[in-house]
Structure formats: structure tokens, C-alpha cells
Amino acid sequence: MKYLGLAFLAGLASALGFAPLGLWPLTIGAFTVLFWLIEGATSLRSALARGWWFGVGQFVLGLNWIATAFTYQAAMPAWLGWIAVVLLSLYLAIYPAVAAGLAWRWRGSSRVALVLLFAAAWIVTEWLRATMFTGFAWNPVGVVLIDTGLSWLAVAIGTYGLSAIVALLGGMFWLVSGNMADRKAGAWLILAIFGGAGISWTLAVPPGTPPAPGPAVRIVQPNIGQQDKWNRGYERRNFERFVQLTGPPTGAPRLLLWPEAATPDYLAFDMAARRRLAALLGPRDLLLLGGVEPIFDDAGNGIAAYNSVYVLTPDSRLIGRYDKAHLVPYGEYLPMRPILSAIGLSRLAPGDLDFHDGPGPRTLDLGAFGRAGVQVCYEIIFSGHVVDGANRPDFLFNPSNDAWFGAWGPPQHLAQARLRAIEEGMPIIRATPTGISAVIDAGGVVEQSLPLGTAGVIDTSLPRVAPPTPFARLGNILPFIFALLLIAAAIAVRRKTR
């Protein structure tokens, strides 16, 4: 039992590497402890249990912000949020457990093979976590390396491969505590990791790349909290905040970016609302903003909706729309609604209509402002699924509503968006109602940002898009190739050990 408790504590320590704390050496150290625990397991069941308790600790602490979301839903008690965090963690911990079990089962007598197999299994299980049952890709372990030079590896092996690097680093420190052969293997491992990072740096976008000269971009962060967003009687006040921050037209063309669900009006059907917004624009401006696109039945009754982003022109036309494709269970739709609503459960976001999913990544033509890909809020966390590869955009727009994500959710969200920029070699613009809005260059560097709980604007030019990276071309094939190489190395090590 004490080993299971130690696994749980190691999992808690591993979560300290995620934003906002960013104590990434503790994450690597936690994996070192996990390897020691897996090696000491006396059965497959014991190895699975140790991996599972490690996962529970990591997810309970790393996902604590989910509990905050329940405080904005009057239909459910706030304490239910912590129950949800624990239950979700109990499920998500299955994936680290499987990685630990596979590594223990096939390690043979080699500690080096255990490390290599675990890293390979972690790639596969983390990808499965992001895929099964619509997927929950939040906080891949590799994101703890976002502010280290090792993050460049994402251009060659993706986020899931970067997570394997964290495991390999933890394994390296574990190996140096062994015999001379293990120490040599650990040394070769660290040389391979840093050598790979150096090669990846040559493929990635160097930091500090100056923005492309072009039309002005203004990102608006109104600091409208979740408690005020849907409060009746606040519509005029909220709109005035947007008007004030948007400012008067300057005569020069501007691309104005507002957050997710910035307007409560149904723009596709409400010409008056569109004219009210278009009045804020100069003759060469464009406005990208989040809204809701309702879906009606033949009788004219609202039956569902899309979480959409619209492109509005100064003459009140909508010239483009993106519908969010990867929806948040319980946030944007209630699974098994007839059953769950009957026992008093509801969506965390207000509203009786569930959202429907859109067709997936799409590039919008913005004329003089270039081509924009759109990923609404949570969609940006799904590695390999954020860009229309057949029509590569010049930048990604990530409007989001992080107002109900607590203190830990927004910086974690930003860190994951930065990984997408590195992977794709593409700048990302984030607009949120309460923060953190940001301009991220194609190398994952945050050029400008607005902190949590602050109203303000970011005036900038669009950062340059880079040529497609290896990951942009091949996607998640690359981390799976990396996993196969690790497995092949583990097999070779086992044979040599025999």
C-alpha cells in the first residue's frame, strides 16, 4: 500500500510542471520515481496499480480548474465540481496504468528496455486519451517542456513524442543509479535527446522572427466574467465594453478579433445586430467574432446550435463562418440528455440547446488580411487536428472563453496553443473575454499578451507563417514512428542483455 501512496504523491509532483507553476524538473523527477516503482512491482497487477495511482495524482491536481466551472452553474452544487475532477481522473489514469503495465510485461531483465518501452507506450496511450470517447487531450506531459529548448523536438515528433522525451529524461536519471552499463545507456540517451533537439531547432522557426509588414490587427479582451456574460440586463454594458476597446476607425485597414461567443445575437438572422456591429468598422476593416448559429426544425423551433465564428464586413455582410467541430462534453452538450437531465444534471454553460459539431478545420479567406484557420477554445489542444492541410492558412485564430477555467486553466490553455504553433510552424492569435489573450509566433514564443482579469487590447501585425514543418506535413504519423523506433531499440537491448 505504501508504494501506491508513493505513486500518488509522485503523480501530484508531476503536475507541478504544468502551467501556471512550470516546475518541469519536478515532472521529470516524478517519472524517475515512477520507473523505480514499476521495476519493483512483483506482478502485472501491481505495475498497473502503480501507474494508475500516478495518473490519479497527476490529473487530480492538474485538472483542478474543472471544479471552478461548476461554480457558474446554479442548477448544480459547487461541490459536485470536485467529484467530477476525481471521477474524470479515475478514468484518465487508466492510460498511464496501461503504459506502466506494458513496459513491465515486456521489459525482460533490462532496465534500459523498461525505459524505452514505457516511453513508446506513453506515446500510444496519450494519443488514445486524446482520441477515445471524443478525446480529452488536456495537459499532455510534453507541454511541461514548452519553455525549454527541448520544445523544438515537437516539429519532428509532435506533442506525444515530446511527452515520451519527458519520460526518457526521467528514465535517464533512474538509469544512472544502476550499474555501469545502465549509466552508459543513460549517457547515450541524453546525447540522443539533445542531439535531436539540435536537429529539430534547424527545422523550427527561430525565436524573435519579426512580424510581416501588413494591416493592423487589434485583439479585444473586454474582461467580462462568466457570471456577467449571460446575465440579463448586462447586454448593453457588455456591448459598450467592446465598443470602447474596439475604438473608432483609423482609416487604415484593421482586422478586429473578438473572443468566443462575443455576441448573444443570432447574426445570421438579425440584420439589425449586424448593422450595429458593422457601424464600428472602417471601410476596409473586418471583424472576426464568436457567436451562436441556431438550428431550427421545419416548424421554426430551435432544436440545436453551432458554436461559430463569423467574418463581418463594414457593409454588414457575413462573408465566412466556422463552426466548432470538437465540442466539450457537459460544457456544450449533455451526453445521454434524457437520462442525465432526468436526475438533475445539466450543461455547465447556460442554455437548453445542445451544440452540434461542425465539419472540422477550415480556412477562411480574409482578402487583404490573408487566410485564417479557426480553432474555437478547447479545439486548439488536439495535436494534428487544427489545420486544413489542403488549404494551409497564414495564421490560426483561437477565440476562447476561459472565464470559467479558474486560475490554472487559462495558462495551461495558452501553453498548449504554443505547442500547436511549434508543431505547425504557424502563428496563433488568441482572443478571450478575461485572459489570457495573446499573440504567439510560429516558433511558439508569446510576443504579446494580456493577463487574466484585465480589460485591454493588443495592437500588432500578424507574425510570419513558416514553411510547413515535418509535423505539419505528416502529423501524428511521426510520434508513432518514434514509438516504433523506441520499441525496436528496446528489443535490441533485450537481445544483447540475454
**Catalytic (active site) residue 2:** no
Q: Do the beta carbons of residue 434 and residue 221 sit within 8 Å?
A: yes
Taking alpha carbons only, the member of 126, 175, 198 closest to residue 416 is: 126
Cell (9 digits) for 484 = 516504433
Taking alpha carbons only, the member of 340, 427, 327 closest to residue 84 is: 340
Q: Do the beta carbons of residue 443 and residue 209 sit within 8 Å?
A: yes
Question: Which amino acid is residue 406, in one-letter code?
Answer: G
Q: Coil, strand, or helix at residue 297? A: coil
Other Cβ atoms within 10 Å of 303 Cβ, number: 12
Residue 357's contacts (CB-CB under 8 Å, 6 or more residues apart) are 323, 324, 325, 326, 327
CB-count burial class (<10 Å; 0-12, 13-18, 19+) for 299: exposed
**Strand residues in 313-434 grouped as ranges (E):** 318-323, 363-365, 371-374, 395-399, 428-431
Residue 429's contacts (CB-CB under 8 Å, 6 or more residues apart) are 217, 219, 257, 395, 396, 397, 398, 438, 439, 440, 462
Helix (DSSP H) and strand (DSSP E) numbers for the chain: 16, 12
Residue 263's contacts (CB-CB under 8 Å, 6 or more residues apart) are 273, 277, 289, 290, 291
Q: How far apart are CA 46 and CA 30, in angstroms?
A: 18
CA torsion through residues 29, 31, 36, 41, sign: positive
Query: Read out DSSP for 243-289?
Result: HHHH----SS-EEEE--TT---S-TTT-HHHHHHHHTTS-TT-EEEE
Question: Which amino acid is residue 407, in one-letter code?
Answer: A
Catalytically annotated residue among 260, 379, 423, 424 = 260
Cell (9 digits) for 227 = 457570471
Catalytically annotated residue among 293, 377, 379, 423 = 377
* CA distance readout (Å), 376 to 111, 327, 463: 43, 9, 20
CA 287 to chain centre: 25
Cell (9 digits) for 443 = 516558433
Q: Is 435 left (phi over 0), alpha (psi -120 to 50) or beta?
A: left
Catalytically annotated residue among 324, 379, 423, 424 = 324
**Catalytic (active site) residue 260:** yes
Cell (9 digits) for 84 = 467530477
**Catalytic (active site) residue 377:** yes
Residues that are catalytic: 260, 324, 377
